[in-house]
Structures are given as structure tokens and as C-alpha cells.
Amino acid sequence: MSNNEKEFKPYIPADKVLPELTAVSIVLGVLLAVLFGGANAYLGLRVGMTVSASIPAAVISMGVIRVLLRRDSILENNVVQTIGSAGESVAAGAIFTLPAIFMWAGEGGVDNPSLAEIALITLVGGMLGVLFMIPLRSALIVKEHGTLPYPEGTACAEVLLAGEAGGAKAGTVFAGLGIAALYKFIADGLKAFPSEVDFSIKQYKGSGIGMDVLPALLGVGYICGAKISSYLLAGGTVAWFVLMPLIVLVGGDNVMYPATDPISALDTWGIWSNYIRYIGAGAVACGGILSLIKSLPMIVRTFCDAMKSLKGGKNTDSSRTAQDLSMIVVLVGIGVIAIAMWLIPTIPVNIIGAIIIIICGFFFATVSSRMVGIVGSSNNPVSGMAIATLLISTILLKASGMIGYPGMVSAIAIGTVICIIAAVAGDTSQDLKTGYIVGATPKKQQIAELIGVVASALAIGGILYLFNTAWSYGSTELPAPQATLMKMVVEGVMGGDLPWTLVFAGVGIAIVVEILGIPVLPFAVGLYLPIHLSTPMMAGGLIRWFFERKKENKEGVDRGVLYASGLIAGEGLVGILLAVFAVIPMGESTFGDFLAGVLPFNLGNWGGLAVFAILCATLVYTIKGKKNK
């Protein structure tokens, strides 16, 4: 036993048994998994990134279990956040890849993926992500407790340990959720003001500025902070104030592929969609691969260390806090899943794809677990892993004769499984770290992770179909930036007609940014997305920066994180509700159209900015509020 294992004492001793995997914790956890999975799916499809659900799930759990149900078990709360956070990681993997198949529907005989297909693909990825992590728990979570901090997992444990403040903290999350839900309904349901404020600058043709005045973007900006938000805005500024005016100036009346109209006739959105999107895609792909290359020494070292730890002998500790699911269960489960992927026709993966998934999946699960232990989940290069997998799988599938749309759909299915494996492995690692600190039973936590994965996999298909039916992927409402990027990568390898000059221009920009020492991925994402998404995030980042300078206001800053999490969840939930309204028929239109015509006025662009300023004021008020009692 290492010194770390001898010295560390969990909050709940191994010889003490408390309620843990109970009916209450399972039901509440599953509800939060679906809730945060849906909210993060909506957020990711809009802006290309998701946020961790562990801490919001933990505080809501404490608010419900401790305050409403009067139950007092920190281990029960831990199971709730374990199940709840699984929804976010499954959603992240699914939305970054699967919408590409929806965008291909109708081409080359491709149909929308069925609900069963989506459920099976996400279920396979989620279960493998959990199963691959079980033999690694002792090596990475226990033996390296003093070495790998697992920042989100440790922070979540601190929230659980501060359980006596759970009611007040849960109230902060629910306040943000309620305000964001009302705001989103008024903006995009009743159409009282435009949710996207847009201004073009006539004196500087080709440029433009704007802001999506939405709660989730303010919340994401606050959680990410000013530095990351500024990198995003820098990328957007280069696109909208440098590249787009240059294209207009040089292009003149020429028609340049992929546009079919003269450049002089295109507005800012036309220039962005025809040119900047491809430049940004090249930058994001290059950024993902560069992050993977820079991480290669750590990746190799991580994998070797984990394998050495696994060879270190069987764990002889039989105490409650050392019990994992049996290795027989793990190996049989992995074997059954591998055979099922190959044989079940609903999953578009052949034997080569199944082998790629198992080999790459275990490798990336190991890498993902250790990397989130060092740098946190937000810096885990999942997109780089997904791009690398898509490149490998598409090349191998093409070489094996599986070409065209069937090959591309299969490549996306493989990429989806790998993406979910990496995301779930990282989330499972953070949850197991939380459990290790508070004294949970690993076996019960691993079962809870599997329950969360199953619930999320069953729900995500309906959510994806709902969004596609209401707005369709690639639209202004749901640009699905990551999935669009993955689609471009697969099409490019399979020989699709891509404007490679624009893509490689983006690669060149990414390399220059890397040489300058600027983090490439956030800059590239800002270049790829409309500047309208970066500006509200910058507002949230600036608010956090202002209050973080005041060292004595740490509690207020933390309260702002909980409120921001509520803003994200509230907008996501109403986004799902509005998608339902958009598909409910009402006469010759829909119920969503009826709601949009209820109010006889619209506040316009300046009204939208004024209401967003009020929303920012609620965040400031929450941060400056009185200390939790």
C-alpha cells in the first residue's frame, strides 16, 4: 500500500455504512441526467461546447434530499451527482458527431439515424467509457491521490462536504434556472426582442458585430473566465474585422467557390457561411491535432504508468471503500459489447470498426482519465481525439472498400463511440475522485455511472430528433459547429468536394497562433463561430474577472458559478420546450408560431441589449449578495 493510501482518510470511514445507492438517489439522479443532458445538448449544438454538471447536480441533490426530504447521507448525494453528471458527458459525445448523419440525410441513400441506432451507439460508448475506467481506478484515483488532483472531482467533494449550506446553494442554482427560463421564453417564445442582435458596419464593408443576448452564453463566459472568453473573442475579431473585409476588398465582383453569387453581392452572413466557416474548420481541426501532438509525451507516459500500475498485483484490500465491480464482469461486458457492435445491424460498424473502437477506446479512456486529473475536464482534448479517430477510421474503411456515404456514416458512428468513451471516462474519473474523498463505495458508484449512461442514452435520441425537426442542424438556431467540423473531416478524407484552400488557410492561421504562444483551440473556435457568440461570453468573463480581483469575495464568485450553471440549465430546458412547441401543429402553422405572434411589439436590437444588461445585473447582484447562512 502506498504512502498516499496509508495517510488518506475518507470523510466517511470504510467501516461505516450509510444509505447510498437508494431508490431516491437513482430516481433523482436519472431526472438530473436527462435534465442536464438535454440542456448541455442544446448548449453544445449552439456554441460547440458543454459545461460540467457535477456541481450543479450535487447542490440540487442536497437541496432536495437534505432540505425537502430530510435525509442526511452525503453518500446518497454523491450517487445523485454521479448519475446526473453522466447525462452531460453522454450528450457531449453525441452532439459533437451524430448531427452529421442528420445533415447527410437524403443524400446517397442516407436516412436519419433511428432512435434505436442513436440509443445503441451512445449506450455502447457510455458503457465502454465506464468499464474501461474500472480497472484504472486503483492505479489513477487511489495510488496517485497526492499526484493527480482531478480539479472538478475535488471541487465537487468540497461542495458535498459543505452540505450544511446545501439549501442556500441549491436556491442559487434554481434562481438562475428560473430567471433564464423566463428570459428565454420571452425572447425566443414570445419574440419580445431578438435573441440575436446584429449590426453591420457600412463604412467598413464586410465587417459586422453583434451579440446573442442569451443567458446560457453569459453563464458559459462566467464559468470559463475572462482569459478563455478573450481568446474566443480574439478569434471572432480576426474573422469579422480582418478576414471578411479582406475577402470583400480583394474579391470584388468575382464569384469564388463555394459561393455561387459575386462576393460584392454577399452580406456578412453570406461571407461567413461560404468562406469563414471553412477557414475556421481548418483552424479547429489543426488546433485539435496540435493539442493531441503536444500531449503525446504525456499520453504515452500516462498509458505506460497505468499499465505498470495494473501489473502491480491484485488489490488485497477488502474494505467497503476498495470494492470495485468484478474484473470478470468488466471483461465479459467489453467482449459482449464488441461482438454486439459487429453483429447488431442497427449499429453501422463492421468488424474493422469494432476492433478500432476497442483498441482506440481503451487507449483514449486511459489518456482522458489521467489528463483530466492534471488539467481538468475543460482542457481535455476530446475533439482532437475524435478527429484523430475519424481520420484513422475513414482511411481504414476506405482501404477496405467501404466508400461513399455508407463508409462516412460508419466513420461517424465509430467517432461517436470514441468521443463518448473519452468524455464518459473523464467524467467517471472525476466522480470516482469525489467518491474517494467522501468515502463512497466504488462498486455502487460504478453501477450508478452505468445507470446514468443508460438513462442518458435512451433520452438523447429523442432530444436530437426534436431539435432537428424543430430547426434542423446547421441552421442559424442550431449551427452544430463540432458536428459540422467532423462532417467536413470525413468528407474530405473520403474524397468529397471541399474548398481545401480555405481549410489550409485556417491551418496556417492556427500554426501562427500556436507560434505566438496563444492557446489554439479557444482561438480557433472563436474564429469558427460567429462573433455574436463570443461577445456575450466575454461579458460573463469580464464580470468574473472584476470580482475575482477582490480576494475577499471568493464566496461571491463561487455563488456566481452556481447561478451561471442555473442560467445554462434554464435556457437549455426552455430551448427543448420551444422545440416541442415548434412541432405541435396549430391550424396551418405551429403552436410556436402562435406564441411568436401573441405580443404586438418587438423591442428591437437596442431593446435586446438593454434586457441583456438587466440579466448581467442579476448575475452581479447574486455575486454581491449576502453570505450564505
pLDDT in tens, 323-375: 888 888 888 999 999 898 888 887 888 888 888 888 888 877 877 787 677 65
Kindly tell me if the per-residue pLDDT of 628 is higher than 50. Answer: no
pTM, 2 dp: 0.77
Residues near 516 by beta carbon (within 8 Å), at least 6 away in sequence:
none
The average pLDDT across 418-440 equals: 91
User: Rounded distance, CA 363 to CA 202, Å?
Assistant: 52
Q: Among 448, 458, 462, 447, which Cα is nearest to 77's?
A: 448
Q: Among 196, 210, 96, 42, which Cα is nearest to 571's?
A: 42
The average pLDDT across 283-308 equals: 70
pLDDT digits (tens, 9 = 90+) for 161-184: 766 444 567 788 888 889 999 999
pLDDT of residue 179: 94
Q: How confident is the model at residue 511 (pLDDT cuts 50, 70, 90)?
A: very high
pLDDT of residue 215: 92
CA–CA–CA angle 150, 416, 568 (5° rounding): 55
Quick check: bond before 135 cis, omega within 30?
Answer: no
**Stretch among 171-185, 189-203, 273-287, 606-620 having the lowest mean pLDDT:** 273-287
Residue 200 in 3-state DSSP?
strand
Dihedral angle over CA of 452, 455, 457, 459, nearest 10: -140
pLDDT of residue 164: 45
* Residue 197 phi, psi (nearest 5): -90, 130
pLDDT digits (tens, 9 = 90+) for 242-265: 999 999 999 888 888 888 889 988
Q: How confident is the model at residue 629 (pLDDT cuts 50, 70, 90)?
A: very low
Q: How confident is the model at residue 1 (pLDDT cuts 50, 70, 90)?
A: very low
User: Rounded distance, CA 367 to CA 296, Å?
Assistant: 10
pLDDT digits (tens, 9 = 90+) for 467-496: 998 888 988 788 888 888 888 888 888 876
User: Rounded distance, CA 263 to CA 203, Å?
Assistant: 17
Residue 429 burial (10 A CB sphere; 0-12, 13-18, 19+): buried
Question: Mean pLDDT for the chain?
Answer: 84
For the chain, percent of residues with pLDDT exceeding 70: 91
Bridge partners of residue 572, in order along the sequence: none
pLDDT digits (tens, 9 = 90+) for 545-593: 999 987 667 788 888 988 988 888 788 778 888 888 888 888 778 888 8
The average pLDDT across 311-329 equals: 73
pLDDT of residue 168: 65
pLDDT of residue 309: 54
Kindly tell me if the per-residue pLDDT of 611 is higher than 80. Answer: yes
pLDDT of residue 319: 84
pLDDT of residue 434: 92
Highest mean pLDDT among 411-420, 449-458, 513-522: 449-458
Kindly tell me if the per-residue pLDDT of 616 is higher than 90. Answer: yes
Q: Among 308, 321, 311, 341, which Cα is nearest to 127's?
A: 341
Q: Among 471, 315, 412, which Cα is nearest to 110's?
A: 412
Complete DSSP assignment for 182-195: HHHIIIIIS-SS-S
- Number of separate helices (H) and strands (E) present in the chain: 27, 4
The average pLDDT across 55-68 equals: 79
pLDDT of residue 292: 67
pLDDT of residue 381: 59
User: Rounded distance, CA 28 to CA 302, Å?
Assistant: 35
Residues near 115 by beta carbon (within 8 Å), at least 6 away in sequence:
461, 462, 465
pLDDT of residue 213: 93
pLDDT of residue 590: 85
For the chain, percent of residues with pLDDT exceeding 90: 30
pLDDT of residue 107: 84
The average pLDDT across 116-137 equals: 91
User: Rounded distance, CA 547 to CA 609, Å?
Assistant: 22
pLDDT of residue 120: 92
Amino acid at 94: A
Bridge partners of residue 196, in order along the sequence: 212
